[in-house]
């Protein structure tokens, strides 16, 4: 495993502190394990086994591999404490093992891909989560984490930015983005039903623009697009005027937040995980990439490509007071530092191509 990745996991463990010890000797099931964030969770479990735990975590990793991958620089596929199973979560899954924790991260999160696979995007969340929670009802785990999304808020008005968990959202149910946005909203409804009716300790997490090592070069989300263009000497294309704003949360902060939510979050609740500072326009983000790259870049305005699900929210910034107060979540990686690390990651990838 590259030293760079080892350092990432070391940082997550430092952030978690004693919270990490709640995972020792447990079995964790991860749906969507082949994705960007799922890879990090598997890798973190293996890192904890190598460096901290006497009793190892056993990981059951599930992915249908539509957009995810089975191999990764983040974990060892032949690890005896890893079962990686190619399986569609839309079909019920059974295992003879007891399960202590479950993460349902199965989703198609890139706009280009969920425009291409709209029904798969919808069913991975709705049917996949229902089957997962049925399994949880039988296995009675200590905690279940449902990966919802900040997209459930839609396009909040200025008075609801930063956005708290109490904001109910302003979302279209018929746009090209609806297959993703609405599936995440329905997923939270399913989660609260299973908590209220069956006592399943399921918690929803709403990530805000997670980024970092592990994102594929061709991911098609904004930061991979910009960074890959910079390294390739290509034009950075900004859709329309680039005035829409976002905050970006680096993976070590995000994974820390996810694990804290899994083991400390209150059942039936939802938590924003992201950063509540450095809100930046897409145009200024391109300039920030130029600054991190250290040389002038060709930055141009462009129309959205054909098939791209337009309708981006004008602003997105979370209020993370609830996660800070209840979970001890305290993100600390600046955008400048995160971009430098992302450039290092993509340079490593491109060197291996």
Q: Hey, which residues are catalytic here?
A: 180
**Residue 119 corresponds to which tokens in the numbers above?**
């029904």
Q: Tokens 């805000």 map to which residue?
A: 208
If 0-12 CB within 10 Å is exposed, 13-18 middle and 19+ buried, where does residue 175 land? middle
Phi-psi region of 209 (alpha: psi -120 to 50; beta: other; left: phi over 0): left
Q: CA-to-CA distance for 140 and 31, rounded, in angstroms?
A: 17
Q: What residues contact 168, with CB distance under 8 A and at least 6 apart?
A: none
Is the Cα torsion angle 162, 165, 166, 171 positive or negative in sign? positive
For the chain, give the longest Cα–Cα distance.
57
* Three-class HEC string of the chain: CCHHHHHHHHHHHHHHHHHHHHHCCCEEEEECCCCHHHHHHHHHHHHHHHHCCCCCCEEEEEECCCCCCCCCCCCCCCCCCEEEEECCCCCCCCCCCCCCEEEECCCCCCHHHHHHCHHHHHHHHHHHHHHHHHHHHHHCCCEEEEECCHHHHECCCHHHCCECCCCCCECCCCCCCHHHHHHHHHHHHHHHHHHHHHCCCEEEEEECCEECCCCCCCCCCHHHHHHHHHHHCCCEEEECCCCCEECCEEHHHHHHHHHHHHHHCCCCCEEEECCCCCCEEHHHHHHHHHHHHCCCCCEEEECCCCCCCCCCCCCCCECCHHHHHHHCCCCCCCHHHHHHHHHHHHHHHHHHC
């Amino acid at each position: 495993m590259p030293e760079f990745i080892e350092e990432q996991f070391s940082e997550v463990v430092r952030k978690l502190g004693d919270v990490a010890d709640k995972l020792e000797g447990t079995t964790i099931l991860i749906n969507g394990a082949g994705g960007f964030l799922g890879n990090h969770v598997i890798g973190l479990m293996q890192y904890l086994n190598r460096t901290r735990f006497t009793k190892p975590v056993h990981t059951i990793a599930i992915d249908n591999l539509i957009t995810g991958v089975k191999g990764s620089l983040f974990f060892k596929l032949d690890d005896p404490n890893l079962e990686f199973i190619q399986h569609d979560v839309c079909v019920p899954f059974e295992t003879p093992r007891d399960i202590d924790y479950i993460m349902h991260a199965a989703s198609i999160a890139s706009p280009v891909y969920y425009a291409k696979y709209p029904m798969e995007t919808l069913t991975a969340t709705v049917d996949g989560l229902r089957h997962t929670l049925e399994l949880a009802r039988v296995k009675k785990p200590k905690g279940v984490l449902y990966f919802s999304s900040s997209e459930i808020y839609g396009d909040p008005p200025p008075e609801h930015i930063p956005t708290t968990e109490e904001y109910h959202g302003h979302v279209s149910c018929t746009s090209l983005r609806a297959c993703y946005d609405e599936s995440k909203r329905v997923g939270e409804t399913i989660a609260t039903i299973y908590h209220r009716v069956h006592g399943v300790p399921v918690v929803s997490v709403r990530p805000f623009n997670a980024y970092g090592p592990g994102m594929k070069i061709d991911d098609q989300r904004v930061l991979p697009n910009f960074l890959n263009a910079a390294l390739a000497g290509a034009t950075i294309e900004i859709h329309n005027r680039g005035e829409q704003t976002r905050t970006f949360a680096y993976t070590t902060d995000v994974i820390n937040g996810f694990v804290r939510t899994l083991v400390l979050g209150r059942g039936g609740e939802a938590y924003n995980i992201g950063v509540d500072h450095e809100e930046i326009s897409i145009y200024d983000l391109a300039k920030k990439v130029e600054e991190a790259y250290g040389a002038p870049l060709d930055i141009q305005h462009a129309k959205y490509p054909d098939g791209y699900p337009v309708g981006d929210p004008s602003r997105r910034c979370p209020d993370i007071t609830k996660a800070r107060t209840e979970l001890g979540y305290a993100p600390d990686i600046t955008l400048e530092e995160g971009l430098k690390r992302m450039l290092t990651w993509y340079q490593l990838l491109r060197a291996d191509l």
